[in-house]
Structure 1
Amino acid sequence: MKIIILGAGQVGTTLAENLVSEDNDITLVDNNPQRLSTLQDKHDLRAVHGIASSPRTLREAGATDADLLVAVTSSDETNMIACQMAYTLFNTPTKIARIRNADYLREKEKLFHNDVVPIDHIISPEKLVIDDIVRLIDYPGALQVAHFANERISLVVVKAYYGGPLVGYAISALKDHMPHIDSRIVSILRNDKTIRPQGSTIIEAGDEITFICATEHIKAVMSELQRLEKPYKKIMIAGGGNIGSGVAKYLEENCTVKMIERNPERAALLAEKLSKTLVFCGDPSDQSLLFEEHIESIDVFIALTSDDEANIMSALLAKRLGAKKVMVLIQRMAYINLVQGGSIDIAVSPQQATISALLGHVRKGDIVNVASLRHGIAEAIEAIAHGDEKTSSVIGKTISEIKLPSSAIIGAILRNNTVIMARKNVVIEQGDHVIVYLGDKKHVPEIEKLFQPSVFFI
């Protein structure tokens, strides 16, 4: 696939790194020549220096025969104009744009179609991060929750702790513990090493477990791996930007929410906008302010400012002063592995959320949803089986007959709105939504090929 990526910031760079290893023809456009030079030295891609929305730059980047244009510059307006140029001048088939401004998003139904601003798919990082954080609040104790198949199937990452009934037992005991609930453990991370789970594998305390199940059974399966935490009721948010205010707005209906915002004008605005959230103007790393607001009684402290270091420091302080859990927003991917799992319970990455959403539109075959896992090392994919036994390499075959890459596991299937856990004798049918876990994303092209029907299939 010939793909043009506009913007070599963190998202554009990470997307290019994800796609360049998958036999794609990638061209990266940016107005920073030094950044482009560095990336060209590291990766097999083409770099074009210029203004992303310029017809000349787009022509030089190969827009005349590109299959896909992804506009992820730091400017919403540049992204929109670039999509307009690609549509009007080059008839680019698929155009994706990152749009951050809430004013544009509120009017997206009127704005973003071929007669006005021709964008096929909109990616809004703030909305994606808000959704991720809300899911983590909804499922206390989870490290990551990803929904598939119209939210009927979920993939969940949790840590196993002493007190979980399955800890110290083989995976095969899960069915004995929960005879009426079907689920599947697809990965175990133990001491930074990935273990492919077998029925005889013993779950140990400290294991990072990835499991898949029908969404309504998430808490039941989690309760086998750790003592279920009580629902979070008292939340403190540091930072009243778009993400902070969005999370507060969602949570204030069912939780007691306090927010700390440095900017006095922004704090006053939020106090009016958020009817049930208590907004304070101050520094979230001010120890006396945290004491005054009873940090020791807070269930979750969520640091959501635009400064990674400030988020990390305020969260560490909040944890030391008694907050039960702390969650931080981290922009730099390199920081995530450094901070998560110690004093900081969960690190949330806008880049990872954005990449997951983008990959769902970029993958070949009928791949409709992608979740980036373990900070980009692993992936979960929702693919739809199309064709028949002659044109498809999966339809009509049992799961045990499908030749999967070594790191791949078919976890679950949605068929006619019914969730089916993937067992060896289950036969794939036309129209099935198949959820595949990939421990190593280098095998993505093989999965794409599996789910691409061909009239020439032999």
Structure 2
Amino acid sequence: MKIVIVGAGEVGRYLSQLLSERDDDVTLIETSEETALSLEEEQDVRVVAGNGASAKVLKSAGAGSCDFFLAMTSHDQINIVACAIASKLGAKFTAARIHDQVYADNSVLNYQDYFNIDYLLNPEALCAVEFAKAIRNPERVAVEDFARGEIEVQRVEVAAESKLLGKPLRDIKFPDEMRVGYVQRGGKMFIATADTKLCEGDIVTVLGSSRNLFEKSRIFTGEKSLPKTSVVIYGATDIAISLARLLSHPRFQVRIIEPDLNLCKSIAENFPKITVINGTATSLKLLEEEDIGDADYFVACTRDDEENIMTGLQAKKLGVKHIHLTINKPDYEAVLSNMSEIMGLDLVLSPRRVTASEIFRYLSKEKYAKVGKLDDENVELIEVRVSENSKCAGKRIFEANLPHGCIIAALMHKNTSKVPSANDVISAGDRLIAISSKENVKKLVSLLVG
């Protein structure tokens, strides 16, 4: 595949290395001539020295005929402009790295659609989602997050206390924007129908709004209330702010420790239900005074790797059950990947690795992207963009004649995302998240793409 990358920072350099190693035709655009020269010696890629937001530079780099165009600089505006130009020139797929949450806010304008960009990705937000998955769902089977984080797919076990046992699904009034997709019973997975009756021990795949799915999924577990979870976050970074938003449910008791007093005041104003502590987690005295050792989770996400490691180890020694942290330096990544278990670290995330992992979900010659997985290897979660030639365009979901075993988990139409009902209309340009048996993926994609 022909891939053009703008920006040779940590993320861009890492992506170009991975892609060149798998024999893709990679062109890297970098403004610094010195960096460009060193990269030509380090990697087997074509390097163009120039402004990645210049139409002339992009054209000379082959952006108009590339399969994937990835704008990965640390400047949001440059990435957005570069992708808009590349799309106009003819790039088949464009992705822009962003940091400012302004561009993820679709309440007034959908920036992604307006600039004709296929994907906006925020490394800090992606890290926060990974942390949130582990914190919000530690005992359930799996959780995935789609549609800009607005839709979730959970897998939960039906308990003996559930009032749904023995009832056909047609007789159960599920909450709005919530439905059952697959049921796993005795090691076998099957699609749920109106006649399906749930049994104790069934693992059900539940689709719903991320705002309230965890609360509403208690109907399967029979829990009267969700247990409280104490989370301490060190560093009021973008990752911390995104994570705080994802943990806004009352079941999470969140505390943020931050040395900068002005940042503390800003966090306290924007998150009145969160306890903000002005101080440094490197102070053992502060951690002991705040009883940090009683917390369920300690998440160190400052921009200082050494502080993240040391405060994480200190929190572990005090008794915190789970330690999560972010790492930015490549050398530290390699060390911690081998030693995290010995050091008692439950989850170590690198923004560049999380970003690369997300992008690789889309770097495929197929007309769809794999966006998640379930325990059954014969079932796939895919994202498809509906084309104007699709046989389904303009039809309601129940009229689309989807292959057996296929479920539309999320429908993203312009500025809105939802778990669709059978009466929702599929329109050209919509992005759909579908759960499908492996054998029917190509048939489903053929219907949606044409």
* TM-score normalised by length of structure 2: 0.64
User: 2:58, 2:34 → 1: CA distance?
Assistant: 19
Matches for 1:56-455 after TM superposition, within 5 Å: 56-88=56-88, 90-107=89-106, 110-112=109-111, 116-140=114-138, 152=153, 180-182=185-187, 215=205, 233-252=229-248, 253-334=250-331, 335=333, 336-341=336-341, 342-370=343-371, 382=381, 415-417=405-407, 433=436
| Mapped contact 2:98–2:122 kept (Cα < 8 A) | yes
Q: CA deviation at 1:137?
A: 0.4
Task: Render the CA deviation track for 1:7-61: whole Å, top value 9, x for unaligned.
Answer: 1122212222332233421101112344444443343211111221122321331
User: 2:383, 2:103 → 1: CA distance?
Assistant: 32
User: 1:240, 1:181 → 2: CA distance?
Assistant: 45
User: 1:40, 1:144 → 2: CA distance?
Assistant: 42
Task: Render the CA deviation track for 1:110-131: whole Å, top value 9, x for unaligned.
Answer: 24256x4232211122222221
Aligned to 1:27: 27
Which AA in structure 2 matches 1:364?
K
- Per the alignment, in what secondary structure is the counterpart of residue 362 of structure 1? coil
Task: Render the CA deviation track for 1:334-386: whole Å, top value 9, x for unaligned.
Answer: 424145212222112222321222122221113422469xxxxxxx975689x
User: 2:73, 2:188 → 1: CA distance?
Assistant: 41
User: 2:383, 2:266 → 1: CA distance?
Assistant: 45
Aligned to 1:163: none
User: 1:118, 1:362 → 2: CA distance?
Assistant: 18
Q: CA deviation at 1:181?
A: 4.5
User: 1:435, 1:308 → 2: CA distance?
Assistant: 41
Consecutive unaligned residues in structure 1, runs of 5 or more? 155-178, 185-212, 217-229, 373-379, 386-412, 420-430, 437-447, 454-458
Structure 1 residues 243 and 143: alpha-carbon distance in aligned structure 2, compared to 1, 3 A threshold: farther
User: 2:139, 2:59 → 1: CA distance?
Assistant: 49
Consecutive unaligned residues in structure 2, runs of 5 or more? 156-183, 190-202, 207-225, 374-378, 385-402, 410-433
Structure 1 residues 49 and 371: alpha-carbon distance in aligned structure 2, compared to 1, 3 A threshold: farther
The range that moved more, 145-154 or 350-359, is: 145-154
User: 2:115, 2:310 → 1: CA distance?
Assistant: 42
Q: How many aligned residue pairs are there?
A: 334
Which AA in structure 2 matches 1:28?
L
Structure 1 residues 4 and 135: alpha-carbon distance in aligned structure 2, compared to 1, 3 A threshold: same
Aligned to 1:219: none
User: 2:130, 2:404 → 1: CA distance?
Assistant: 22
Aligned to 1:400: none
User: 2:368, 2:122 → 1: CA distance?
Assistant: 20
